[in-house]
């Protein structure tokens, strides 16, 4: 191979090679080297490029044994809403109200994962993921939320877990990812009622008793900060309520109480060695500038702005500022309930998409939130501002403030306006840019000793994005909903490379 190569030729070869290489690996075929790559090897002729380290050895590795995973949730992927005795959930009801979901989409079919889970496990295997975070649909297991169980419903998860283990993929199960049995909403107002917290604990214990011989990690609840706020205060998610503050704060309290009861029930019923945590979309407070005063402000802000969920779970008390601000509308609780809510956890899962930026302030709280300028970049979802340092500050605050020793990033990823190109490939270069930037910050955290043990990319494949229906795609695999064909996007090739290197690619 000639060691002398013109600049123009270099650029041409490099461009072709990059495209060929990413496209081939995105398609899962990495066996033969794409044309142009061998020409590039050893072609760096000039002494300046010789001095550069190979990008393969950038030193941006993650700790040994780091768990790379991907994630989905029952209502977003399963479909089969009327099969094998599943009861209706609040999302079945809500998505049928005209105008609540974009294009009046529902999860009736979604990704048909209920029938295609074996194919989907093969997608994971091709990526090389070591773990899969999925959720269990409560109304499959207890169609009425409580009372008589439906063994056929649990059987699906038995089959899924067995398939994962047969492929060397660790199952991480979430017990509540928003598909509340409709019967619990109808009788007592869902999470407005303490009975729902109790029913959730019972359901969690029932599932853990039957799956914990194979599932070693359970998450109680996914994103209090989303389903309670959007479903019971703002009304844009199921069950679509806009409760007044007092009733709403009580609903928040019942959600964290349900979490605590579930922790206790799992401990009581699961096999020894079962590990329990939660997956919360905490408000991630990044300091506007990384100096002592703003870091201190961001730390205070983290406790206060998560007072109603993560802070009370970690500390067993609501902050004074939260209770004072709520005044007469503060939740009613007993010391015994606070103890249940703060039952010790084995790990903390954080779903991280975007930060807020916090600065020091002379107010009594000691911090203020900086507004996003209009030009702040975001991904396809309007709320998904690009702030990679969220993956550094999120776990760092959790480790520092609450002395948490085991942390998972239970979701991170982004929506992109994915469209297959003429060659069939989805060139989601923006998602690759997003992931690379975020993972670089996560690597920074692990390199400093922040105890992050794993990362679950949202999502394995495009799916039902709640009120956005099927318009915003978050998957590593493009799903053609007409045919259910899954196609790896460019980002799937990127993630595969990250996993293989155990480092930022």
Catalytic residues: 223, 411
Shortest spacing between CB 463 and ligand NOJ, in angstroms: 7
Nearest in space to 442 (alpha carbons), one of 352, 311, 347, 348: 352
Torsion angle defined by CA atoms of residues 125, 23, 68 and 133, in that order, rounded to the nearest 10 degrees: -60
Shortest spacing between CB 411 and ligand NOJ, in angstroms: 5
Shortest spacing between CB 261 and ligand NOJ, in angstroms: 21
What DSSP state is assigned to residue 308? Answer: I
Residue 124 burial (C-beta neighbours within 10 Å; 0-12, 13-18, 19+): buried
Report the residue number, 17 or 204, with the smaller CB distance to ligand NOJ.
204
Report the residue number, 337 or 465, with the smaller CB distance to ligand NOJ.
465
List alpha helices for 128-231, DSSP H.
138-141, 151-166, 182-186, 194-211, 224-228
Shortest spacing between CB 217 and ligand NOJ, in angstroms: 17
Cβ-Cβ contacts under 8 Å for 342 (sequence gap 6 or more): 260, 312, 313, 314, 315, 316
Shortest spacing between CB 281 and ligand NOJ, in angstroms: 6
* Contact with ligand NOJ (CB under 6 A) among 22, 197, 250, 351: 351
Shortest spacing between CB 254 and ligand NOJ, in angstroms: 20
* Contact with ligand NOJ (CB under 6 A) among 17, 23, 73, 77: 73
What DSSP state is assigned to residue 375? Answer: T
Distances from the Cα of 84 to the Cαs of 73, 81, 140, 474, 493, in angstroms? Answer: 18, 9, 8, 29, 36
Binding mask 17-46 for ligand NOJ (x = CB under 6 A): ------------------------------
C-alpha 462/C-alpha 460 separation (Å) is 7
* Residue 323, token pair as written in the block: 């209770």
First CA to last CA distance, the chain: 27
Report the residue number, 294 or 431, with the smaller CB distance to ligand NOJ.
431
φ, ψ (nearest 5 deg) of residue 291: -130, 170
| Range 400-419, binding ligand NOJ (CB under 6 A) | 411
C-alpha 189/C-alpha 195 separation (Å) is 10
How many of the chain's residues bind ligand NOJ (CB under 6 A)?
9
- Report strand pairing: 348-351 vs 407-412: parallel
Q: Kindly report each contact of residues 254-257 with a partner whose C-beta sits within 8 Å and lies 24 or more positions away, as own/partner.
A: 254/191, 254/192, 254/193, 254/194, 254/196, 254/197, 255/191, 255/197, 255/221, 255/224, 255/227, 255/228, 255/309, 256/224, 256/308, 256/309, 256/312, 256/313, 256/341, 257/194, 257/197, 257/337, 257/340, 257/341
C-alpha 150/C-alpha 212 separation (Å) is 18
Residue whose tokens read 């469209």? 419
Shortest spacing between CB 415 and ligand NOJ, in angstroms: 7
Shortest spacing between CB 94 and ligand NOJ, in angstroms: 14
Is position 75 an interface residue for ligand NOJ (rule: CB under 6 A)?
no
Q: Are 86 and 151 in contact (CB under 8 A)?
A: no
| Range 217-236, binding ligand NOJ (CB under 6 A) | 222-223
Report the residue number, 222 or 274, with the smaller CB distance to ligand NOJ.
222
Report the residue number, 66 or 176, with the smaller CB distance to ligand NOJ.
176
Report the residue number, 22 or 222, with the smaller CB distance to ligand NOJ.
222
Binding mask 447-486 for ligand NOJ (x = CB under 6 A): -----------x------x--------x------------
Report the residue number, 376 or 382, with the smaller CB distance to ligand NOJ.
382
Report the residue number, 389 or 465, with the smaller CB distance to ligand NOJ.
465
The residue ranges that bind ligand NOJ (CB under 6 A) are: 73, 76, 222-223, 351, 411, 458, 465, 474
């Amino acid at each position: 191979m000639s060691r002398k190569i013109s600049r123009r030729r270099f650029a041409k070869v490099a461009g072709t090679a990059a495209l060929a290489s990413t496209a081939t690996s995105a398609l899962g075929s990495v066996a033969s080297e794409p044309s142009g790559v061998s020409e590039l090897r050893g072609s760096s002729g000039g002494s300046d490029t010789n001095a550069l380290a190979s990008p393969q050895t950038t030193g941006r590795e993650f700790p040994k044994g780091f768990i790379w995973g991907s994630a989905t949730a029952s209502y977003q992927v399963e479909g089969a809403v009327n099969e094998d005795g599943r009861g209706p959930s609040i999302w079945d009801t809500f998505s049928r109200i005209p105008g609540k979901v974009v294009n009046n989409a529902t999860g009736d079919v979604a990704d048909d994962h209920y029938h295609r889970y074996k194919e989907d496990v093969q997608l994971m295997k091709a990526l090389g993921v070591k773990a899969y975070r999925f959720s269990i649909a409560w109304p499959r297991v207890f169609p009425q939320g409580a009372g008589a169980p439906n063994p056929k419903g649990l059987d699906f998860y038995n089959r899924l877990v067995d398939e994962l283990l047969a492929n060397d993929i660790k199952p991480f199960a979430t017990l509540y990812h928003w598909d509340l049995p409709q019967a619990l909403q109808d009788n007592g107002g869902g999470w407005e009622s303490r009975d729902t917290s109790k029913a959730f604990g019972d359901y969690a214990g029932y599932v853990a008793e039957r799956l914990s011989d194979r599932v070693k990690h359970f998450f109680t609840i996914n994103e209090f900060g989303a389903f309670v706020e959007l479903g019971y205060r703002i009304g844009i998610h199921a069950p679509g309520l806009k409760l007044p503050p007092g009733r709403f704060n009580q609903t928040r309290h019942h959600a964290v109480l349900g979490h605590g009861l579930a922790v206790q029930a799992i401990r009581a019923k699961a096999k020894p060695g079962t590990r329990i945590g939660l997956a919360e979309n905490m408000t991630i407070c990044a300091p506007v500038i990384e100096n002592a005063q703003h870091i201190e402000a961001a730390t205070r802000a983290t406790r206060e702005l998560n007072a109603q969920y993560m802070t009370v779970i970690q500390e067993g008390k609501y902050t004074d500022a939260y209770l004072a601000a709520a005044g007469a509308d503060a939740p009613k609780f007993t010391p015994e309930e606070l103890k249940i809510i703060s039952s010790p956890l084995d790990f903390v899962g954080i779903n991280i998409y975007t930060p807020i930026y916090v600065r020091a302030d002379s107010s009594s709280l000691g911090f203020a939130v900086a507004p996003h300028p209009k030009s702040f970049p975001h991904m396809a979802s309007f709320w998904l501002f690009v702030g990679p340092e969220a993956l550094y500050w999120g776990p760092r605050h959790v480790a520092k403030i609450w002395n948490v020793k085991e942390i998972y990033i239970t979701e991170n990823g982004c929506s992109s306006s994915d469209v297959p190109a003429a060659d069939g490939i989805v060139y989601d270069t923006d998602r690759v840019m997003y992931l690379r930037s975020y993972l670089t910050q996560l690597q920074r955290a692990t390199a400093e000793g922040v105890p992050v043990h794993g990362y679950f990319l949202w999502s394995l494949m495009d799916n039902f994005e709640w009120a956005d229906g099927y318009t915003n795609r978050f998957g590593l695999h493009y799903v053609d909903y007409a045919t259910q064909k899954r196609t790896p996007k460019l980002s799937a090739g990127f993630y595969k490379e990250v996993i293989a290197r155990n480092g930022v690619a």
